[in-house]
Amino acid sequence: MQIFVTLIAFVVAISVLIIFHELGHYLAAKLCNVKVLRFSIGFGKPLWARKYGQDLTEWTVCLLPLGGFVRMLDEREGDVFPEEAHRAFNRQSVWHRIFIVCAGPFSNLILAILIYTSMFIYGVPGVRPVIGYVAPGSIATKINLVPGDVIYSINGHPILTWQSMAVRLTEAAATGHSINLIVSKNKAKTHIVLNSKLLTTVSLDQNLVKQLGIFPPEPFVPGVLGTVEPGSPAAKAGLVAGDKIMAIEGRAFTNWENLVAVVRSEPNKPVQLVVSHGKQTSYATVTPRLIYVHHQKRGWIGVGPLVDPVQVNALRIIEHDTVLTAFIHGISRTTSMSWFTLEMIGKLIIGHAALSNLSGPLTIADYAGQSARMGLIPYMTFLALVSISLGILNLLPIPLLDGGHLLYYMAEIVKGGPVSEKAQLIGQRIGGVLLICLMIFAFYNDINRLFIS
């Protein structure tokens, strides 16, 4: 079932991103009166094809969904009727060609803005940015953060949720400059300066909030079972909702994390529990089932805790914006994430970030499935982030990418004439080799991350 969800989530995400990207090229071409011959989603053998419009543009869906293209009338690619020569792409001014090429990547950025805007209007659930625990000896202790403090703003950006705090902290750390925190201590605001060099942004997988040493508050969870899944190891052992865990493996129950830690670490190994139900106390032996979470072995017994909804609701907050405010926030979030993506690419190039951050379609598919299972908002957030990455990566000055074509056009503006076909051919070969090497390395990272690590 998980594989099915992952596959559907990946295909939907890739299809939406490709359609928006290619629609950008298509609409820009139509605005410049360039004839579009084919609009293709995917590569390889067409699975579906139809012709529409005055120009009889062929719209196709092909076998391999990892890309797409818009084929325009071009004298360099075939014979063109004299009466249509003025509509050929190669006959357009350099500024029209730049506009058409840029429209694809910028459409992905526009998609991200629309996604973020929709999310902020709909309401983004989160945890209030209240510090519940500070790790001893951590960076947080050095800047005098204590439990109960509320993170009010980071570098002038208001912080409403723990998630937005993590995003802003990551963005601020990537700049390498000092990070200005406004912290509410007993309702009195205090200015704290954090040296960003204390935080490591070498790996995108690292959680900078945890590096800082602060953790959100957690509601008290007694050892009472709130849910027991039918057919689970717990159900087979006779556990039912309302049972209270008194002891685990001979040790008194102190918190829910004790049970989770023992169960996760002991797949296929019987775990002894002392269980109380009403006035009766009994022993139960549960054998955790082996499952894989993020490709790591875990034990699972199929129970959930009984949590006080009042405590949970006190920690939660939902960010709602008006349409205008949401749109402004959408632009701001897209802009900041775009700069962050560029900064990380720069760090990869100069060696200040690990090459293990390069991900291929397997990792993207895995993240698509994970976010889809978490809910609509996480999946939309994933879609926006990948759309931004696709837009920025396509603007890189690498031949075969949109940015490579822009490089030729910039050279044309400087030298006063088109770049020679020979130079373009050499560039395409270099770009092709570079992209193949990057894809091989990305696939290696995917396999190492998903199946080996």
CATH number for the domain whose boundaries are 125-218+314-319: 2.30.42.10
186 φ, ψ (degrees, to nearest 5): 55, 40
In the chain, the amino acid numbered 337 is M
pLDDT at 18: 93
- Give the Å distances, CA to CA, from 351 to 143, 225, 343, 438: 30, 49, 12, 15
If one counts every other C-beta atom within 10 angstroms of the C-beta of residue 123, the result is 14
Question: Is a pLDDT exceeding 70 seen at residue 304?
Answer: yes
Of 59-73, 137-151, 416-430, which gets the smallest average pLDDT? 416-430
Q: How far is CA 218 from CA 224, 256, 311, 323, 391, in A?
A: 16, 11, 9, 33, 38
CATH architecture of 225-307: Roll (2.30)
CB atoms within 10 A of CB 78: 8
pLDDT tops 60 at residue 229: yes
Tokens representing 32 are 């410049």
CA-CA distance, 298 to 76, in Å (whole number)? 58
pLDDT value for 205: 44
Cβ atoms of 174 and 341 closer than 8 Å: no
Identify whether the C-beta of residue 211 lies closer than 8 Å to the C-beta of residue 139: yes
> Residues 319, 333: contact at Cβ < 8 Å?
no
DSSP string, 107-169: HHHHHHHHHHHHHHHH-EEEE--B--EE-TTSHHHHTT--TT-EEEEETTEE--SHHHHHHHH
Q: Which two tokens stand for residue 295?
A: 């490709």
Indicate which residues carry an active-site annotation: 22
Tokens of 453: 């690590």
DSSP string, 259-278: HHHHHHH-TTS-EEEEEEET
With CA atoms as reference, report the closest residue to 223 among 303, 286, 301, 298. Answer: 303
Mean pLDDT value of segment 24-30: 96
At which residue do the structure tokens 């928006």 appear? 20
Q: Which parts of 276-401 fold into alpha helices (H)?
A: 309-315, 323-350, 361-374, 376-394
Q: Mean pLDDT lowest for which of 220-234, 236-250, 327-341?
A: 220-234
CA–CA distance, 317 with 97 (Å, rounded to integer): 47
pLDDT of residue 202: 46
Whole-number pLDDT of residue 391: 94
Q: Which of 452, 404, 393 is nearest to 429 (CA)?
A: 404
Residue 367 confidence (pLDDT): 84
Mean pLDDT, the chain, as a whole number?
86
Q: Does this model's pTM top 0.85?
A: no
Q: What is the DSSP letter of 78?
A: S
Nearest residue to 343 (alpha-carbon basis) of 353, 333, 334: 353
Query: If pLDDT is split at 50, 70 and 90, which confidence band does 308 have?
Result: confident
206 pLDDT above the threshold of 60: no
Question: Alpha-carbon dihedral of residues 24, 27, 29, 31, nearest 10 degrees?
Answer: -130
Least confident of 94-103, 190-199, 327-336, 384-393: 190-199
- Asked whether the predicted pLDDT for residue 204 surpasses 50, the reply is no
Please compute the mean of the pLDDT values over residues 50-54 and round it to a whole number: 90
Rounded mean pLDDT, 390-405: 90
Question: Position 401: which residue type?
Answer: L
List, by residue range, all CATH 2.30.42.10 domains of the chain. Answer: 125-218+314-319, 225-307
Structural contact between residues 171 and 182, judged by C-beta atoms closer than 8 angstroms: no
User: Which has more confidence, 110 or 357?
Assistant: 110
Regarding predicted confidence, which is higher, 275 or 205? 275
3-state secondary structure of 292: strand
Taking residues 397-417, report their average pLDDT.
Answer: 89
Q: Tokens standing for 383? A: 């879609």
**Given this model, what pLDDT does residue 295 score?**
59
